[in-house]
Amino acid sequence: MRIAVMGAGGVGGYFGGLLAGAGNEVALIARGAHLQAIRSRGLRVKSQRGDFNISVEATDDPRQVGPVEMVLLSVKTYQNAATIPILTPLVGESTSLLTLQNGVEGHEELAQVVGHERVLPGSAYVETHIESPGVISQRGDVARIVFGETSGQRTPRAQRILETFQTAGIPTDLSNDVVKELWTKFLFICTLAGVTSTARAPMSQLLQHAEARETILAVMREVEAVGRARGVNLDVDVVERTMEYVETTAKDLQASMHTDLELGRPLELEALNGAVVRMGQQGGVPTPVNRLLYSLLVAHKDGAVHQ
């Protein structure tokens, strides 16, 4: 399959590398030193499943790639406004576009430009980062993709994409309720990112304090309430199951927003806790805890605060 990865950072670079290694014709859209390193030395991926180096097409100009069969949109959500308009040269008559981003609104932003019929919402469950220019590092045992048609149908194109990922050794699920999947992850990542970033402390440390646990649960319940008000069919025990996940498998994970805060980078705050507040206002759902987290992080939204 001819594939373009729009945003070849941690997530896009990792999955793009695996897809290229499986024989797909992959073009990575990157920039700066990362792009130059990929062009000169290839893409290096260091992961739990083994390290590899692969030569792959890389550019900062989608026009040099032209129409492809599938586009993976994996840029940070705050880059959508600048990125989505320039990816249109990748879109031909039969192009499908799959979003692999945090938040629950990215696929809607993309659909406004390319059309709802072309877009498949998706979510990546993986911990990755750019270790150095041209080098992607993946850690942890979880590295999978969930995606689907918004209609819930198992279409031929979705089936083909599923088989493409699976052939590349990427654990992938084709969901019949992908919006539910996005919101289930959204509930988790808003909590992990918002609470740990505000506290400047890892989840494992926060869980030792009853007061922090109350805040963690409150964030989850607000996200759940906003989702249900928007008609999302979340599981009845979504908060309990997510809390159990936080207390076990995820207690040592660090959200990318927490890492970005520590490094003085822009934050995906508007797509996470900010989105909960905004959608809560639209639906008449109170979100006081998410509003507090947002208010304490908003000064850092655009990167390091300079005195």
Instruction: Assess if residue 241 is contained within a domain.
Output: yes
Same domain, 187 and 122: no
Instruction: Assess if residue 28 is contained within a domain.
Output: yes
CA dihedral 80, 132, 144, 104 (to 10 degrees): -20
Residue appearing with tokens 């990546």:
124
Same domain, 156 and 236: no
Instruction: Assess if residue 307 is contained within a domain.
Output: no
Strand, helix or coil for residue 266: coil
Same domain, 171 and 212: no
Residue 307's pLDDT is 37
Q: Which two tokens stand for residue 270?
A: 């508007």
Same domain, 137 and 172: yes
Query: 91-130 burial string, b = 16+ CB within 10 Å, else e?
Result: beeebbbbbbbbbbbbbebbbeebeeebbbbbbbebbbbb
Same domain, 138 and 193: no
Same domain, 166 and 271: no
Instruction: Assess if residue 112 is contained within a domain.
Output: yes
List the domain range (segments joined by +) for residue 227.
180-300
Q: How many domains does the chain have?
A: 2
- With beta carbons less than 8 A apart as the criterion, state whether 148 and 121 touch: yes
pTM: 0.93
Q: How far apart are CA 155 and CA 74, in angstroms?
A: 23
Q: How far apart are CA 97 and CA 89, in angstroms?
A: 13
Strand, helix or coil for residue 108: helix
CA-closest candidate to residue 17, choices 182, 141, 130, 122: 130
Residue 203's pLDDT is 94
Q: Which two tokens stand for residue 86?
A: 């320039």
Same domain, 129 and 166: yes
Q: Which two tokens stand for residue 135?
A: 């080098």
Written as tens digits, the pLDDT of the chain (307 aa) is 999 999 999 999 999 999 999 999 999 999 999 999 999 999 999 998 899 999 999 999 999 999 999 999 999 999 999 999 999 999 999 999 999 999 999 999 999 999 999 999 999 999 899 999 999 999 888 899 999 999 999 999 999 999 999 999 999 999 999 999 999 999 999 999 999 999 999 999 999 999 999 999 999 999 999 999 999 999 999 999 999 999 998 888 888 899 999 999 999 999 999 999 999 999 999 999 999 999 999 999 999 854 3
Instruction: Assess if residue 188 is contained within a domain.
Output: yes
Residue 306's pLDDT is 45
Instruction: Assess if residue 117 is contained within a domain.
Output: yes
What phi and psi, each to the nearest 5 degrees, are found at residue 72?
Answer: -100, 120
Q: How far apart are CA 102 and CA 124, in angstroms?
A: 8
Instruction: Assess if residue 305 is contained within a domain.
Output: no
Q: Which of 126, 154, 176 is a domain's end point?
A: 176
CA-closest candidate to residue 53, choices 44, 61, 62: 44
Q: Where are the beta strands (DSSP E) in 8-134?
A: 25-29, 43-46, 52-54, 57-59, 68-73, 91-100, 119-132
Residue 109: CATH number of its domain: 3.40.50.720
Rg (CA), the chain: 19
Same domain, 139 and 191: no
Residue 305's pLDDT is 55
Residue 226: CATH number of its domain: 1.10.1040.10
